Amino acid sequence: MRIATRAIHAGQHPEAITGAIMTPVFQTSTYVQHGPGEHTGYEYSRTQNPTREALERNIADLESASHAFAFASGCAAAATVMHLFKAGDHIVCNDDVYGGTHRLFTQVMATHGLEFTFVDLGDVNALEGALRPNTKALWLETPSNPLLKIIDLKALSTKAHAHELVVICDNTFATPILQRPLELGCDIVVHSTTKYMGGHSDVIGGAACTNNDTHAKRLGFLRNSLGNVPGPWDAWLVLRGMKTLPLRMKAHCENASRIAAYLVEHKRIERVMYPGLKTHPGHAIAASQMSAFGGMITFILEGGLPQAERFLKSVKIFALAESLGGVESLIEHPALMTHASIPAHIRAQLGINDGLIRISVGIEDVNDLLEDLDQALSI
């Protein structure tokens, strides 16, 4: 079956007692046992929950994975994946990642003895220069947050596997509708399901997927031990979002490409970062590994912070807020908001400067979005 059909049906069965077509919210912490240890396969909701499992079957199917694990947040998924490694292990990571991922790696996992090197992997040959004898994994985020850099997943997976690294890809910005990293050679995919998968800005969640049975067994053990599971309601909300993910992604991509084309032409915009633009350095790779270019656009407004602040306060439909991937359009200032936890000198090196603005293009009528940007840019 094709992906739009699978998004609706994969992993879903009518409920056994009533035939309810939608998976119920199994809002229970525990399950009755017939005798000690004689259970139905369900013992305790941290360990097993039918609503969560329905979501996991759905996500696994879309990501071409044999295993998926839902988490309480994207950060919880990333933290659990990091527990596959031990003190003294070294991980190479692309330089531009979500600020919370950078914070998790450098201010949490590093204090437990993991070592990280951040490098611009837009040039795949940069990997070799970052390797150490103790390098165990490669963490990739593409398109990256917030600079929308594109990383060649196939080429880097091949290179990394030659050094026996575990390749992990954060696929939050693309979703499995646009890009399936496991098919391109990655070993583990992580998501913030808070974003496009949930799709309505009403839930926090995460996921990790793999086809590797050893990683899957360990991830299941780790999640049960760490206890960072989503509640059944949250799993249900993400599952509901999944059903419209293909439709929504199509609308996000169409609106974003119209808006990127508008911004490129605007005299007050110094630079537009959108992988769909032919001028984007990663455009050819994006075109080969993604089926469309996504709903995120980052741009530099002339005039630094004062102009950026004025613009951010002038938009009327775009809401000034962290996060992305909901049906509604959001706008934010990475340096002061989503990436504020990254030290200023690193932000400066990366180019996350005071004029940098990121938009999550929603699925409203694109003409309203264009008019909103236009009026705010003329103030």
CB of 39 to ligand P1T, least distance (A): 32
Contact pattern for ligand P1T over residues 205 through 234, marking x by CB under 6 A = -x----------------------------
For the segment 132-161, give every residue that binds ligand P1T (CB under 6 A). Answer: 141, 145
**Cα 25–Cα 28–Cα 29 angle in degrees, nearest 5:** 140
Active-site residue flag, 354: no
- 98: closest CA among 334, 346, 360? 334
Phi, psi (deg, nearest 5) at residue 49: -150, 125
CB of 232 to ligand P1T, least distance (A): 17
* DSSP reduced 3-state for 319: strand
Q: What is the distance of C-alpha 173 from the center of its chain?
A: 5
238 lies in the binding site for ligand P1T (CB under 6 A): no
For the segment 290-349, give every residue that binds ligand P1T (CB under 6 A). Answer: 322-324, 338
Q: Which residue among the candidates 89, 152, 170, 372 is catalytic per the annotation?
A: 170
Tokens representing residue 160 in the block: 């990394």
Nearer to ligand P1T, 157 or 360 (CB): 360
Nearer to ligand P1T, 12 or 299 (CB): 299
Number of Cβ within a 10 Å radius of residue 270: 13
CB of 337 to ligand P1T, least distance (A): 7
Residues 6+ apart with CB under 8 A from 233: 25, 27
372 lies in the binding site for ligand P1T (CB under 6 A): no
Active-site residue flag, 248: no
Cα 41 to Cα 51, 66, 209: the distances in Å are 14, 20, 22
According to DSSP, the residues that pair with 68 across neighbouring strands are 209
Work out which of 194, 228, 257, 329 binds ligand P1T, going by CB under 6 A.
194
Active-site residue flag, 98: yes
Q: What is the number of the residue whose Cβ is closest to ligand P1T? A: 74
Active-site residue flag, 313: no
CB of 101 to ligand P1T, least distance (A): 6
C-alpha 339/C-alpha 324 separation (Å) is 14
Q: Which residue among the candidates 46, 57, 154, 218 is catalytic per the annotation?
A: 46
Number of Cβ within a 10 Å radius of residue 87: 9
C-alpha 372/C-alpha 268 separation (Å) is 15
Query: H-helix or E-strand containing 21?
Result: none
23 lies in the binding site for ligand P1T (CB under 6 A): no
Nearer to ligand P1T, 12 or 55 (CB): 55
Give the footprint of ligand P1T on this chain (CB under 6 A).
Answer: 73-75, 98, 100-101, 141, 145, 170, 172-173, 192, 194, 204, 206, 322-324, 338
